[in-house]
Chains A and B, each alone.
Chain A
Amino acid sequence: MLMNIRDLAIGYQGRPILPPLTLTVAPGELWAVIGPNGAGKSTFLRTILGLQPPLAGAIERGDGAIGYVPQRSEIDPAVPQRVIDLVRMGVERGWRVLDPLAARRNPAVQVAMRDTDVTALARTQWRRLSEGQKQRALLAQALAGEPKLLVLDEPTSAMDMHAEAGIFAVLERLRMERQLGIVVISHHLALLARYATHVLLLDKDERLALVGDRQTVLRHPAFMERYGQVLDRGGRHD
């Protein structure tokens, strides 16, 4: 078990925005978090990452670190950063950050860059990367901390379909090779339907939270009603 979530209520100022959520993320599972804009997906992500307090319920973390991949727009392009600098930041954990040379010595940096195919871009500035390269650099940063659970916030937004498919292929490979647990918010239903093992469908307006393995959720009337036609058309919704 990487994360056990029981009766979790998320929201703001004491007001829950969704029904209580219960789910367990195990190694090798890819959880797709889907739902319309403003459905509560990011609030869910921030809560399980510990960036926002839960209103009720419990989040039990298993052993091992969590790797967080934020949206690419969170990185300020005005600040000079090469890919290697970004990835080294992923190594720092807890008070180990007080050792100024820890990141330089850590072999996980090179392994993470190799696994995400950004080794050749190590000296390239962030602002000069394509969207797909940026996403792979952020993935490398998260992997440098050798996490057991990877949490990604819309990794393929504003990406062309080719780059999008490339990112999901990397995630799939990491899931299989490292037995990573992955929780990912994405708008690309076709890719999620192909790669996800489990799905969490959220809709704040309808007070809906559908949790389960892929087949169960994809066949559920509430899912079909919302996304059945979208899946038939090729899978992208906004």
Chain B
Amino acid sequence: MTDLTGFWASWELFRDAALAGTFAGAILGALGVYVLIRRMVFLSAALSQAASLGVAAAFWAQIQGAPPWLATPTLGALGGTLLATALAGIPDRASRRDGLLGAIYLVGAAGTLAIGTKIVQEVQDIESLLFGSGVAVLPEDFHTIAWLALALGVIQLWLHRGLLHVSLDRDGARVQRLPVRFLDLVLVLSLAAAVSVSTRLLGALPVFAFMVLPALAALDLAQNPTQALLLSALLGAAAGLGGYWLAYAASLPVGAAQTLVAALLVAITRAGRALADRALAWRAHQQHDRLQHNAHEHGPDCGHEAVAHDDHLDYLVDGHLHHPHDGHCDDHGHQ
């Protein structure tokens, strides 16, 4: 509690960074629903690594004397993401490009580590590129993620039905002559923009986490894919903000804390879903038993063992004494 109070007391210090994490969590969370439905989790891992390689390459280019307006980390991340997307394409559920995606992931991770050792410490810490620091955010980066969140939010409001249709039933969408290529392009560009800007701010680990974990939890909770989009955005935002608080309270790296909060949300929703499923199954079982029993007439040849009980005859059903009389049947408890 003290930690929470202290966190809010220092809010002015964290505000931009925490809000940037919240926006990133929201947009990546929503896009993560498409990632999971299309079964392209590995693509999101590869994209986030490619983006971090782009960021590292931009810093390295700056040190080598490239003009700062050209070698910006965000442009580097965008370049890495677009290159990786062009190489891999957007796989639909039918296609499998695991090997190629694995290669992109490995080149991204190894390249970031390799270039990271060439970047002087005060310019950029390699750990923060890979696992996320997100402690300080430049005003221009904050504005970029805020505008991006707004733009992607509007696009989702407008196009989510088509994007979901193409993701859920590609053949059906083609038969119904939906603009499949246009919708694919919208999704690719949305992913590229969200991943590149977020990776620049947060690092590869939380970006990958935001694209998988909130959607996993949302798909457990939601009644339909549209609800899942909204829920996933909310859970992603909660993980983004909650991660900052956890990092502050437990002195953890921000990226790791955001990932842990997102994972905790998955654990809670999974447990809730399992309990709800069990309750539903139990209720259905009870109803089934009741229906079966109502349709059954006890008697000498009914197949149940007759047991004398006080002044009447009961029948033994699954260890319970059933007493038929006056058109209905009472449960007289265990034998």
CB of A85 within 8 A of CB of B161, answer: no
* Those 5 A-B pairs whose CB atoms lie nearest each other, nearest first: A97-B162, A85-B224, A68-B175, A94-B177, A80-B222
Residue-wise interface mask of A (61-76) relative to B, using a CB-CB cutoff of 8 A (1 in contact, 0 not) = 0000110101000111
| Closest Cβ–Cβ distance, residue B60 to chain A (whole Å) | 42
How long is the Cα–Cα vector from A82 to B225 in the complex, in angstroms? 9
Q: Is A120 an interface residue (CB 8 A)?
A: no
- Measured between beta carbons, the chain A residues less than 8 angstroms from B175 are 49-51, 66, 68
**CB distance A68 to B172 under 8 Å?**
yes
Pair B171/A70 contact, Cβ less than 8 Å: yes
The A/B interface has a contact count, at CB < 8 Å, of 83
Which A residues are CB-close (under 8 A) to B171? 49, 51, 68, 70, 74
Contacts of A95 in B (CB 8 A): 178-179
Q: Name the CB-closest residue of B to A69.
A: B172
Of A76, A92, A93, A94, the contact of B37 (CB 8 Å cutoff): A76
Contact indicator per residue, chain A 81-121, by CB within 8 Å of chain B (1) or not (0): 11001000110111101101001000000000000000000
| A interface residues, Cβ below 8 angstroms from B | 49-51, 65-66, 68, 70, 74-76, 78-82, 85, 89-90, 92-95, 97-98, 100, 103, 125, 141, 145
Q: Is the beta-carbon distance between B165 and A97 smaller than 8 angstroms?
A: yes
* B159 contacts the other chain (CB 8 A): yes
Mark B140-176 against chain A: 1 for CB-CB distance below 8 A, else 0.
0000000000000000011111100100110111111
Consensus secondary structure, chain B interface = helix
Residue of A with least CB distance to B156 = A100
A65, A78, A89 pick with most chain B CB within 10 angstroms:
A89
- Residues in A with CB closer than 8 Å to B160 are 100
- CB contacts (< 8 Å) of A93 on chain B: these are 176-178
Residues of B within 8 A of A145 (CB): 176
Instruction: Find out whether the CB atom of A51 lies under 8 angstroms from the CB atom of B174.
Output: yes
Closest Cβ–Cβ distance, residue B2 to chain A (whole Å) = 40
